[in-house]
Amino acid sequence: MGRPKLWGTIGLLLLGAAALADEGSYAAEFLTVGVGARAAAMGEAAVAIAEDATAAYWNPAGLMGVPAYAFAAQHADLFQSGGGAVLTRGLAQYNFLNLVLPFRDQERLAISWVRLSVDEIPRVTFQDDNGDGILGTYRDRNGNGRKDPGEYYVDTPTVAETFSNSDNALLISWARPIGSRLSIGVTGKWIRQSVFTYSGIGVGLDLGARYALSKHVVLGLSLQDLFGTRIRWNTPARPGFVLPTNPRLGAGIRLPFRRLLTLTLAADLDGRRTVQRTAEESPSRWHAGMELTLLRVASLRVGYDAGAVTAGAGFRIPIQRAVFEVDYAFMSHPDLGDVQRLSLVGGF
């Protein structure tokens, strides 16, 4: 593909995304959680160093670092309710699955699926115990017309049914090299969110670039949610909030010490200010991580994720021409519980 045709194609993608994103509302916040246990353990500093199948999310230009075929699968239980036990089921399940394929001459194409779900949410109704024809009657002791703490229901609350809340996104990514040091990529997103009987659909677009300064130093730039990512709901209520464009700039350094050890350092500057976890904590845009790999097989990782410390490990398994890696990450939250993430990536 010649360069004029290439940039013409990208231009059409941008115009299409801008037109589609003009309608709708309500941000697809679940797409800000991140994917991959390796990235999570390194504080989500992944824009420059993601060069496996998870690059479809972090920076599509990084897909040029994978072999001809690659895949990634992840599962995470969010907001643990098992008292801190390992791998207990959380209140929400977060999953990622994708496949990377060769496309034309030296290009890559990836298809990804992201899902966040909360199951068995109770819908509570009341029995009309006092027979006044009003469900949810309570003892209004102070007579102010609203239910205050300590004012109990006269009617008995009951669970009428349970329902699920699910957020899904289909990502289609494309990447290609431009010269020997620069690669670019595009990710288009189709999003569907559902809560009880309501649902919303929207689209978004990410752009990415990755540049190798040297054999050991690489820079990355990702423009997530270009033009904003919006959801149009099947309800008259249309909140005016939209997930804004988020530029992320990253750098990575890989330092091999012969065949024994490899040290990887990474840092990202996130354009989207992180929500505070505690009253004392200041919002932060910084992510940083360190990975120490022994004999190209076992890795230990630690990171700083916008004010929180993260950690994890990975184990690399080569099988003939294929390479598989099992990764684990642990992140803590002072109010919502610990988050543990498992992922499997491979290339062949």
How does DSSP assign 179-246, residue by residue? Answer: TTTEEEEEEEEEEEEEETTEEEEEEEEEEEEEEESSSSEEEEEEEETTT-B--EESSS------B--E
Tokens read off for 162: 């349970």
Residue 204 CB contacts under 8 Å (≥ 6 apart), including other chains: 17, 21, 28, 31, 188, 189, 191, 225, 226, 227, 228, 229, 243
pLDDT tens digits along 259-302: 799 999 999 998 875 444 444 444 558 999 999 999 989 999 99
Here the tokens at position 239 are 């909140």
pLDDT value at position 297?
Answer: 94
d(C-alpha 233, C-alpha 187), whole Å: 23
Local structure of 65: helix, strand or coil = helix
Please give the Cα distance from 73 to 32 (Å, whole number): 17
For residue 4, give the amino acid letter: P
Nearest-angstrom CA–CA distance, 258 and 293 = 12
| pTM score over 0.85 | no
- Residue 242 to residue 216: CA distance in whole angstroms: 38
Residue recorded with tokens 């003939």? 320
Residue 236 reports pLDDT greater than 90: no
Q: Backbone dihedral region of 41: left (phi > 0), alpha (psi from -120 to 50 degrees) or beta?
A: alpha
Q: Which two tokens stand for residue 175?
A: 């990447």
Q: Measured between alpha carbons, how far is 345 from 326 in angstroms, rounded to an integer?
A: 7
Contact 158, 35 (CB under 8 A): no
Q: Are strands 156-178 and 246-257 parallel, antiparallel or unpaired?
A: unpaired
pLDDT of 57 > 70? The answer is: yes
Q: Which residues neighbour 325 within 8 Å (Cβ) at sequence distance 6 or greater?
A: 38, 52, 314, 315, 316, 317, 344, 345, 346
Q: Residue 321 burial by CB count (10 A; 0-12/13-18/19+): exposed, middle or buried?
A: exposed
Whose tokens are 């390992």? That residue is 86
Name which of 102-106, 147-151, 279-283, 302-306 the model is least confident about: 279-283
Give mean pLDDT, residues 182-196: 91
Task: Give CA–CA dist 99/171, Å, rounded.
Answer: 11
Q: What is the DSSP letter of 143?
A: -
DSSP 338: -
Q: Which CATH architecture describes the domain 3-122+160-347?
A: Beta Barrel (2.40)
Residue labelled with tokens 């431009």: 178
pLDDT for the residue 328: 96
What's the pLDDT score for residue 335? 57
- pLDDT at position 235 over 60: yes
Q: Where are the alpha helices (DSSP H) in the chain?
A: 3-21, 37-41, 55-58
At residue 128, the 3 state secondary structure works out as coil
The stretch 80-92 carries a mean pLDDT of 56
User: Whole-angstrom Cα distance, residue 322 to residue 58?
Assistant: 23
User: Of 53-67, 122-136, 142-156, which gets the smallest average pLDDT?
Assistant: 122-136
Beta bridge partners of 227: none
Query: What pLDDT score does 114 carry?
Result: 96
pLDDT digit string, tens, across residues 298-322: 999 999 987 789 999 999 999 988 9
pLDDT of 169 above 50? yes
**Higher pLDDT residue, 101 or 227?**
101
Exposure class string for 91-124: b at 16+ Cβ within 10 A, else e: ebbbebbbbbeeeeeebbbbebebebebeeeeee
Q: What ranges do the domains of the chain cover? A: 3-122+160-347
Most confident by average pLDDT, 10-19, 34-43, 139-148: 34-43
pLDDT average, residue stretch 22-48 = 81
**Cβ atoms of residues 272 and 32 within 8 Å:** yes
- pLDDT score at 111: 98
First CA to last CA across the chain, in angstroms? Answer: 26
Q: What is the mean pLDDT of residues 71-81?
A: 81
- Number of Cβ within 10 Å of residue 238's Cβ equals 15
